[in-house]
Amino acid sequence: MATTERDRPGVPPEDCEPGALVRDIARDTIGVVMGHHGGDRVQLRPIMGGREWDAFEVHPLTAREELSARNAARNEVTRRWGL
């Protein structure tokens, strides 16, 4: 059986650079790394802004996943504000 990107093990939170897009494995949600907290977790924020949350296990996005997430965010801005 082939493994997918979502089947990969997570990376340690301290390996995530601020500003990077990652997937919170527990929530299955993409967020922007805002910083590290306590060494065992990373603080994430939704791409479109909003309330931060702590994630304990994340994995970086592939180029395809990142492009898709950024396009979805841009499309949402266009729908809401007509920009």
- Which residue shows structure tokens 């909003």? 50
pTM over the 0.95 mark: no
What does each C-alpha distance from 80 to 34, 45, 75, 76, 77 come to in angstroms? 25, 20, 9, 6, 5
List per-residue pLDDT tens for the chain, 83 residues long: 444 555 566 777 767 889 999 999 999 999 999 998 777 899 999 999 999 999 999 989 999 999 999 999 999 989 988 76
Domain boundaries, the chain: 5-81
**What H or E segment, with its residue span, contains residue 51?**
none
What pLDDT, on a 0 to 100 scale, did the predictor assign at position 40?
84
| Paired tokens of 72 | 């979805």
Level-2 CATH architecture, domain 5-81? Roll (2.30)
SS3 45: strand
| The two structure tokens encoding residue 70 | 């950024």
Report the distance separating Cα 45 and Cα 68, nearest Å: 17
